[in-house]
Homo-oligomer: A and B are copies of this chain.
Amino acid sequence: MKSTSTIDLNMVNAYIPGRANVGPATAAMIERRDALLGPAYRLMYEHPLHIVRGEGAWLIDADGRRHLDVYNNVASLGHCHPAITEAICTQVRKLATNTRYLHDTILELAERLLATVPGTELAHLMLTCSGSEANDLAYRIAQTRTGGVGMIVTDTAYHGFTDAVSKFSPSLGENVDLGAHVRVVPAPRQYHAEGADVADTFTRDVEAAIADLKRHGIQPAALIVDTMFTSDGILPGPVGLLKGAVEAIKRAGGLFIADEVQPGFGRTGEHMWGFQRHGVQPDIVTMGKPMGNGQPVAGLLATADVLGRFGENSRYFNTFAGNTVSCAAALAVIDTIERDQLIQHAAGVGKVLRDGIAALASRHEAIGDVRGVGMFVGVELVSDRALRTPDRALTTRVVNHMRDQGILLSACAKGHNVLKVRPPLVLTAEEAQLVISALDDALSAAQRT
């Protein structure tokens, strides 16, 4: 059975059985859930939430209590956004079928997505059901194109849970083995770089990983990077950060895969995609989570060059991926982002949020760094500002205190000490203020305990 220590090691902000008194109703539901779903599932928070309804940035629990959700980037336009739910309901009553027939919606979706990547050679859309499937397919394509299997990833990266992708997702924890063909490089942590040029360091680290793969007779297939380094601690980094590393992998005959599952669809407040911040040319761009605002849909864009050999060798059919309903949802998401100018909105309210949290640093010594772009904010908590010592215990207390105050967020990074603030793009400035003032309270309360 699952041991507390294992859970503790593997996952930030997991519910740990027995640590807190969750009350009889929740305890009974957790017991029923453990019996039915088995030992691999996890809940969040010391007091897990039983959610029954969502609207806008809010989740409502079984007791009718409202929680401001600044964490789930699936419902990125807000929970149950009417434009998306109506697109789903209209289409699901008309037709839900697959890509072995012609239909318009998938073609329109492809045109709209390809229009978001001007100045690249990305030419084709392939659809999957999940971001994990998208990264798995990207890996298959990379192997076919390069003849290699080697993968380079950052040290706390998460790219998915399939057998192949879990082997290059170090954040799954020490008990999930990395592949012998996988090399891990340090994420570009400017806050811990003591003035060094993180872009240079990152380039050199990727070059060293390439050399090490080759020394072992392994041809590199790809460098894959979450362009916001989400699990690594939300690291937008200096503009252009990825340039040297991307050039290095391409020189070595490998591909650059931009994993946009978390940063994509306007979250950065700068562009539709995170890689666009760094002016690099991905061979493959993977996407998922917010793509259907909750409807399961994910996929990838790839260049014609990269897909040529794969298309010769393999047909691709994914029963549910590209179904008319998921495509209709994804189209409605793009429409809404554009019509409501949500990228600009994310930039504006994101700045309010970031500035407000940064201002707390004068009162709270624990705030070591506040960083981010758009609706993606990382707050690094430390026990010693001079030494930048990660304070995981404090971070856990803050997350749970926030939850108890009705603000939902979580944490990330190697040290499990970075608050991950990832609100829906539609968050208002007033709602941002609620987050800031709750964080002020939580930091005070958590320091006292």
Interface contact A1-B308, CB-CB below 8 Å:
yes
Among A40, A48, A59, A107, chain B packs the most CB atoms within 10 A around the CB of A40
Known: A37-B125, A74-B319. A294 touches B96 (CB 8 A): yes
Beyond contacts A51-B97, A74-B98, A80-B92: 7 other A-B pairs, Cβ-Cβ < 8 A, are A6-B313, A40-B316, A51-B102, A59-B101, A133-B133, A176-B313, A295-B325
Expressed in whole angstroms, the Cα–Cα distance for A88 and B88 within the complex equals 9
Partner of A97, one of B59, B289, B318: B59
Contact with B along A175-211 (1 / 0, CB 8 A): 1100000000000000000000000000000000000
Cβ distance A252 to chain B, nearest Cβ, rounded Å: 21
Interface contact B50-A95, CB-CB below 8 Å:
no
Interface contact A163-B175, CB-CB below 8 Å:
no
> Which A95-137 residues sit within 8 Å CB-CB of chain B?
95-103, 106-107, 110-111, 114, 123-126, 129-133, 136-137
Contact with B along A22-61 (1 / 0, CB 8 A): 0000100110110111111111100011111110000100
Partner of A2, one of B102, B143, B312, B319: B312
Known: A99-B41, A162-B163. A33 touches B107 (CB 8 A): yes
- Measured CB to CB, the residues of A under 8 A from B are 1-3, 6-7, 10-11, 14, 26, 29-30, 32-33, 35-44, 48-54, 59, 72, 74-75, 79-80, 85, 88-89, 92-103, 106-107, 110-111, 114, 123-126, 129-133, 136-137, 139-140, 143, 161-166, 172-173, 175-176, 288-289, 294-296, 302, 304, 307-308, 310-321, 323, 325-326
Interface contact A39-B79, CB-CB below 8 Å:
no
This chain: copies in complex: 2
A88 partner residues in chain B, CB cutoff 8 A: 88-89, 92
Interface contact A326-B99, CB-CB below 8 Å:
no
Interface contact B37-A130, CB-CB below 8 Å:
no
A114 partner residues in chain B, CB cutoff 8 A: 36
Interface contact B111-A136, CB-CB below 8 Å:
no
A320 partner residues in chain B, CB cutoff 8 A: 74, 129-130, 294, 296
Interface contact A38-B288, CB-CB below 8 Å:
no
Cβ distance A411 to chain B, nearest Cβ, rounded Å: 13
